[in-house]
Structure 1
């Protein structure tokens, strides 16, 4: 760069950043400061605090100092104050520092750089509008907004104090005061450093030495912040979708991911991510050169349209095909020449654009050349620095020093600095002090905004469908509501939620259980007088909820009864959805829906998206609960509610009602139709008392159920206020063959078998190892196990044919004469000695066809539980994922389901237990599948087709010696779909509102 001096002399330029040395903004600042230094000026950079500076600092680089150090002494070689202070953003920590700095350098000109819509950041972080923030008292505002965001009042005044403003995008000029000179300032990068260096970073960054056949790599370099969390989430989902749609790919990520934010992304496409963490900036060009596509996710919205992420210039300069939003610099991009543009920023659109690049080498080459040319024209560091220096010269020539008319404030001190937590790009090596946490809109809040069925169009559609129902299908629905001293606010809301139903053929049957609060009777009388469908019965004596509910039942004239607690609310579509379901299947006896919770302010949270009919789950928790609808006649036949079961009266009722009821009589509506009030003291919030009355009532209800069904079992409490039914083993205990197919590896089969045997307490078991003749020669001969249980033995079987798990397993099954088969991989071993007792006791139930346990890896995380099987978005194959994969086995999972025995559609082959006669009758494992896991899924689907159930229990746990993840080959997923798609439309143990990635149980955007 040519030498440049203002008024014949070099000047001191101080760049002020709001973040530490890991921030992306520092990349821009450092480039400009270095180039200005090469042009003959003195430049320095100051940060709120310094961590450990990395290789960004080179010889003869501009000094980088902390705010404190800069205030104490000049960072320039001539020890003079700055002539120009270029403040990177008007955020509060920067404003406070600059105010102190200008007291010492009153002649310095102030230039402020804008790189974000600060008001959008404030609203996103705090969850409040700018107007709400401006209405807060100063003390309250300080507790909401940390120093590294802009102050909703002061940042505007700060801009007015400046002598010039630089903007990273044109749209940011709307924030510039009219009298202040402004200039567009794009980032500058050193283009030669982005010359393609194929695979240069591969070994240094510990990337895989080779890719899978046809595997593509997408690279995204950038940290996770509260501001871009949603965009990164969308990118992860897109990567999952690409793999699900048959395009194997990996996402290589760099950057800092704070734990609080990373937790929200934890299971999204986890098996497809290579996370490198913080990477030196010098490595970025080499890393980008490895990519098949570079993606900057995001929608063209008020956040993205004002900013220009620092990675976009680097992406374009790298010579790799780039995909960015049609926002900020995207307005100047020619689609298909410089980059591909995202119009909506959805996960599907990202996946589609990546597929365009992957499938069209000519397009990828055109984008490579076009992106580099665009970067050369817009982001050349030398050119952009020359423009910046000209702007400095204009500011110096056209402005006069404006000393601040304020009292001199004391120098900043370290205590203040520590209070300003670097929350946007926190240092990943040093502890940072706490600051107010950012408001991050919950996933469910975002889901409700997009997919709750409350829009006018959806409401009109439902109304039209209801109007077309024939009269016989318009059943009257009787809503039972027991009331006792309810807070009038919630009682009114509950009644209003009934009035607001789209379906009009209802009656509200209220039983006041001798409330002692006078306003209750007045309120009920008023409501009854206003609508003849509201019927009231006043009980003379308080009998508690069961007797009150039965009193309400006496008022019911409808064919079906709906339960509604006196402080809860129905969704406006609740009764309509029930009526529509009954019109399609008039023979139903029980209907239930999903539910969520609602707080005092009307905020909905904690949804429970339930499975279809799941008998074992009902024995562990009352998952039916709200919303639930009974046929009135059957409800009266079983005697309604029972006194003495208060707190679990609904569970007792559901158990009695469903005994002997066929699954074809039970229907699940996979929509949130009930809002459970979570007021202080409500059971919707928690049940903390160890022997609380609901728990005692639940034990009583479950014990009665076991007695009525002649079930011999022990009832054990489970963390989370739920239960385990520990079934009694038959006497004599059935014989078990633990089958170990030994495939394609030389391993000490006897040692593995003995390890399994000695860790197993079940006596009537025999281990049978299937192996190829070549393997048999390298393993010791079978011997009697050296322990007191001499009845158990280990033997081997020479299997015929080429090695294959399904083939060997079938041969072992035919060779055994045991009653029960349990299939294990030789690298599995039990973690609890009663694992086989649990499997056998469950399998001894006549309605159970197969049972499996939990498989954990050496990292003590879940590898396999039950298997979820759903048609993929591609529509020509199944998605198969292991439920709760990567979860801690001691955690609760989704609504405590990880701790509970329950029905699943399929199980992993690992640890699968099945009756031998059933296995042989069904033809065993189908050996045509490439994977034994696929064969196990197919077997489980055949078991369910035969009318038996498949369950998983957390009380039988096995550990795998390696961290091998559950995976189904692409060809098998297509084969399973072709065989089962006509009957398996969706997974009944799952929910259409839940996603098909990671370990499942996160929300689906959109529902399937």
Structure 2
């Protein structure tokens, strides 16, 4: 076909063309087709550059080809400079159709053009896309050559090509849960014979008591749950059913009981009293356990017999019985638990511990599991996570937020507060037992930047924001300069009661500058802060201190917003052993994945643009590692705290603006990256707070088929 040839668009399904030229969706799945068919077929097997103009759409290109079970989908990349998209895509052989799924109810989409692209032109295209996202200072030829030689010295050529290809590639939309089931779960699960062998190999077989409270009208649902228990590969279970209705009579492992008072709590208390198993788990009528569920729990308990609580992932069943709405959970996360009941079901708890705690409290009806787990983990409980979907729960079962708040109030203590942030998302704030001196350490180059269309002295503006907005009084501010602050900036430092120390070395080293500032500071708590920030929440320091005061917490970082209000930082996750900001660029009010942006959450690391640590912990690990002069020093700090058994927490209640460029690609020294991989590669092979099935390019808690092979390998390994 001719270069840049325009393709025609016609409505394939659920679309109508309005008189003004706009497209209007007339059904649930609107689709446009590109043609003519002969032109589309001529593109098969080649690279193409596809561009279009649009308004009000979020277009996805769906490519159909012979031999593909389902279309390949690509989310077309918006242009930073206008309403359109520009993408480079390799089409599969025998391409037979190109469809556009517009993602809008009323939209304009036209001027679709396709240009066949050769290997050299594709390389130039990718390079241009990467260069456009670099800071201007990094686009200079000498800087680019230096980076290129650094990469060639430390990274194999094939890996360089792979990274460049990925950096410039068009990302597909998230995979579906059905894709995950087919690609990860189904091929990884052991056969029936293998599961029988695994049962025989267990060193002990504790009985699991399934507790259930059921109404008379739920007999059919009870039958469904009982059928899933009978199908278990692990046979050592009993069902303790509290109901007014006659129980099923043909199951010897059934233990029927009658509650002595109305309500779910009394029913579960009666079931708990009847239980004879070493472990108990609560299921609602209609919940279905996967056939391998109890075996997976028994194997985990055999491997770690000291566990007090073990939980697994879950999904929901539609009325038609289809699996949907998966909940892929993080590993044990104490602070996340106070923000959301992520443990959910299924979860096995040691029976003696549950009885010692008094079982189920009637005043928390509607959140009985949550209340029990909060009390069970209030002390040093040992908790394990099985990263497999082991329960399929009925759709519609939801936490009662009011009951959850009562349970959280008990956890927070008499003077603490608990409030609702959104459905199933909460904030617990404990009062500060002390108000320690907080030393705010600000490394600065004393430069200006353009913010809101105006030239701003960053350090002066940052100091003014801290003093004018913050409500925590017991602070000192130490700015670490390069010895070249301008008179007006020095005047701002004095005006805001800060002091400076000077980094005397002409070689840039942000880690060394922060260590220098920490050494000059007097505070019991250190708060490292970039100078290009502006305080949003007045009690930002109090919110972070309240989390840092929790035993076991070692580092706390806040929510950071770009200048336009979109998310810049709500935690750091790891993919292929390297860190990235999760949900970067999402709207500022984005709740995240099951409240991940809205509420506090455990991560392996937070950004050093704003991070709070105790001085004692900071000194115990000898501060920032100065062999990371530019990158990774903040991440390395959090990981070394993790090595000492200390947790890192994203604090959603503390919010700042961070005036970092949204379109900037972080410039990483290849030597630093290689050193980081050598130091932390083994630990970061799996991020305990970011499940394997989720994508990392970029990380957003969205299913990504590219990660499925790794997730499948992990599941296979779990059954060995």
Q: TM-score, normalization: structure 1? A: 0.56
1:990 paired with 2:690, answer yes
TM-aligned CA distance change 1:957 to 1:640, over 3 Å: same
Matches within 5 A, 1:430-441: none
Please give the alpha-carbon distance, in whole angstroms, between the structure 1 residues aligned to 2:71 and 2:660: 34
Per-residue deviation, 1:943? 1.2
Cα 1:256–1:972 change in 2 (3 A) is farther
SS of residue paired to 2:418: strand
Matches within 5 A, 1:537-556: 537-539=257-259, 541-556=260-275
Measured at CA, do residues 143 and 643 of structure 1 come closer, stay the same or move farther in structure 2, by a change above 3 Å?
A: closer
**In structure 2, C-alpha distance between the alignment counterparts of 1:570 and 1:253, rounded to whole Å:** 42
| Aligned ranges 1:653-668 → 2 under 5 Å | 653-662=372-381, 665-668=382-385
1:48–1:597 Cα change, 3 Å: closer
Q: Does 2:540 align with 1:810? A: no
Q: Contact 1:739/1:769 (CA < 8 Å) preserved in 2? A: yes
Query: Structure 1 residue aligned with 2:483, among 758, 766, 773?
Result: 773
CA distance in 1, matches of 2:27, 2:637: 58
**SS of structure 2 residue aligned to 1:452:** helix
Instruction: Determine helix, strand or coil for the equivalent of 2:499.
Output: strand
What is the aligned partner in structure 1 of residue 718 from structure 2? none
User: 2:317: which partner in 1?
Assistant: 598
Deviation of the 1:667 alpha carbon: 0.5
1:68-87 alignment, distance < 5 Å: none
Partner of 1:825: 530
Is 2:169 the counterpart of 1:463? no
In structure 1, distance between residues paired with 2:99 and 2:656: 35
Q: Quote the Cα distance in structure 2 between the aligned partners of 1:743 and 1:882.
A: 24
Q: 1:633 to 1:949 in 2, by over 3 A?
A: same
Structure 1: distance between partners of 2:31 and 2:89 = 29
Deviation readout 1:920-973 (Å, 9 max, x if unpaired): 2321111111434x1111111111222222111111111122324684735444
Q: Could you tell me whether the CA contact under 8 Å between 2:30 and 2:102 is conserved in 1?
A: no
State the alpha-carbon separation in 1 of the partners of residues 592 and 160 from structure 2.
34
Of the three residues 429, 448, 470, the one matched with 1:726 is: 429
Of residues 655, 677, 681, the one that matches 2:394 is 677
What is the total number of aligned residue pairs between the two structures? 617
SS at match of 1:510: strand
Q: Is 1:224 aligned with 2:67?
A: no
What is the aligned partner in structure 1 of residue 185 from structure 2?
A: 452
Distance 1:798 1:146, change over 3 A: closer
Whether the aligned pair in 2 keeps the contact of 1:851 and 1:950 (CA below 8 Å) is: yes
CA distance in 2, matches of 1:291, 1:51: 37
CA deviation profile, 1:564-596 (whole Å, cap 9, x unmatched)? 112211111110110111121122121000111
In the alignment, what sits opposite 2:168?
none
Could you tell me which residue of structure 2 aligns to residue 290 of structure 1? Answer: 121
**2:211 maps to which of 474, 477, 480:** 480
The CA distance in 1 between the partners of 2:160 and 2:608, in whole Å, is 37
Shift of 1:442: 7.4
Query: Does residue 1:887 correspond to 2:586, yes or no?
Result: yes
Alpha-carbon distance, 1:486 to partner: 3.8
Alpha-carbon contact 2:48-2:117 (below 8 Å) kept: no
Q: 1:750 aligns with which of 460, 470, 484?
A: 460
Corresponding position of 2:150: none
Whole-Å separation in 1 of the counterparts to 2:340 and 2:9: 51
**Given the alignment, which residue of 532, 545, 569 partners 1:840?**
545
Given that 2:442 and 2:479 are in contact with CA atoms closer than 8 Å, whether structure 1 keeps it comes out as yes
Over 3 Å counting, the alpha-carbon distance change for 1:949 and 1:966 in structure 2 is: farther
Residue 939 (structure 1) aligned with residue 642 (structure 2): no
CA deviation digits over 1:57-97, x for unaligned, max 9? xxxxxxxxxxxxxxxxxxxxxxxxxxxxxxxxxxxxxxxxx
1:536 equivalent to 2:250? Answer no
In the superposition, relative to structure 1, how do residues 482 and 294 fare at CA in structure 2: closer, same or farther (>3 Å)?
same
Deviation at 1:704, TM superposition (A): 1.9
Answering whether residue 469 of structure 2 is matched by residue 759 of structure 1, we say: yes
Structure-1 residue corresponding to 2:222? 491
Alignment counterpart, residue 648 of structure 1, candidates 367, 381, 384? 367
Q: State how far apart, in whole Å, the 2-side matches of 1:752 and 1:542 are.
A: 60
Q: Is the 8 A contact 2:218 2:285 kept in 1?
A: no
Q: 1:380 — aligned with what?
A: none
User: Residues 376-387 of structure 1: matches in 2 within 5 Å?
Assistant: none
1:794 aligns with 2:513: no
| SS state at 2:358 partner | coil
How far 1:977 moved relative to its partner? 2.9
Q: Counterparts of 1:506 and 1:227 in 2: how far apart (Å)?
A: 49
Q: Judging changes above 3 Å, is the alpha-carbon distance between structure 1 residues 146 and 891 closer, same or farther for their aligned structure 2 residues?
A: closer
- Decide which of 667, 674, 678 is 1:978's aligned counterpart: 678
- Kindly tell me: are residues 766 and 545 of structure 1, through their superposed partners in 2, closer, same or farther at Cα, counting changes over 3 Å? same
Bigger shift: residues 988-997 or 497-506: 988-997
Matches within 5 A, 1:72-471: 219=49, 224-225=60-61, 233=73, 252=88, 260=103, 281=113, 284=115, 290-292=121-123, 443-453=176-186, 458-470=191-203
* Structure with the higher fraction of residues in strand conformation: 2
2:647 maps to: 949
**Distance in 2, Cα, partners of 1:670 & 1:775:** 52
8 Å CA contact retained: 2:60, 2:74: no
Q: Is 1:743–1:804's contact at 8 Å kept on the other side of the alignment?
A: no
After superposition, the C-alpha distances for 1:891-934 in whole angstroms (9 at most, x for unaligned) are 211012211112111110011011223222321111111434x1
Matching of residue 714 in structure 1 with residue 407 in structure 2: no
Distance 1:591 1:499 in 2: 21
SS at match of 1:859: coil
Tell me the residue number matched to 1:39. Answer: none
Q: C-alpha separation between the residues in 2 aligned to 1:481 and 1:968?
A: 55
> Which whole-Å CA distance do the structure 2 matches of 1:888 and 1:357 have between them?
28
Deviation (angstroms), 1:613: 0.8
SS at match of 2:694: coil
Contact 2:9 2:32 in 1 (8 A): no
Q: Is the CA contact 1:864–1:966 (under 8 Å) kept in the aligned structure 2?
A: no
Partners in 1 of 2:689 and 2:100 — Cα distance? 33
RMSD: 4.0
TM-score calculated relative to the size of structure 2: 0.76
After superposition, the Cα gap between the structure-2 partners of 1:233 and 1:602, relative to the gap in structure 1 and judged at 3 Å, is same
Would you say the 8 A contact 2:60–2:76 is kept in 1? no
Q: Give the distance between the partners of 1:286 and 1:658, measured in 2 at CA.
A: 58
Which structure has more relative contact order (CA 8 Å, sep 6+)? It is: 2
Deviation, structure 1 residue 750: 3.0
Contact 1:881 1:1000 in 2 (8 A): no
Structure-2 separation of matches of 1:744 and 1:581: 55
Confirm or deny that 1:1000 pairs with 2:719. no
Conserved 8 A contact 2:241-2:257? yes
Distance in 2, Cα, partners of 1:1003 & 1:917: 40
Give the Cα separation in 2 of the matches to 1:667 and 1:826: 41
Which has the larger Rg?
Answer: 1
Quickly say closer, same or farther: Cα 1:256–1:854, change in 2 above 3 A.
farther
Change (3 A) 1:485 1:743: farther
- Hey, what does 2:443 align to over in structure 1? 741
Please state how far the C-alpha of 1:286 moved relative to its aligned partner: 8.4
| Equivalent-residue separation in structure 1 for 2:487 and 2:590 (angstroms) | 44
SS of residue matched to 1:898: coil
With over 3 angstroms needed to count, the CA separation of the structure-2 counterparts of 1:289 and 1:972, relative to structure 1, is closer
Task: For residues 540-568 of structure 1, give each alpha carbon's deviation from its aligned partner in whole angstroms, at most 9, with x where no partner exists.
Answer: x5421112112112222221112211221
Q: Which residue does 1:910 correspond to in 2? A: 609
C-alpha spacing 1:920/1:352, structure 2 compared with 1 (3 Å):
closer
Shift of 1:452: 2.6
Distance 1:670 1:357, change over 3 A: closer
Checking the alignment, whether the CA contact within 8 Å between 2:62 and 2:99 is kept in structure 1 is no
In structure 1, C-alpha distance between the alignment counterparts of 2:197 and 2:583, rounded to whole Å: 40
3-state SS in 2 of match to 1:888 = coil
Task: Determine the C-alpha separation between the residues in 1 that align with 2:178 and 2:258.
Answer: 39
- Find the aligned partners of 1:227 and 1:294 in 2 and give their Cα distance: 21
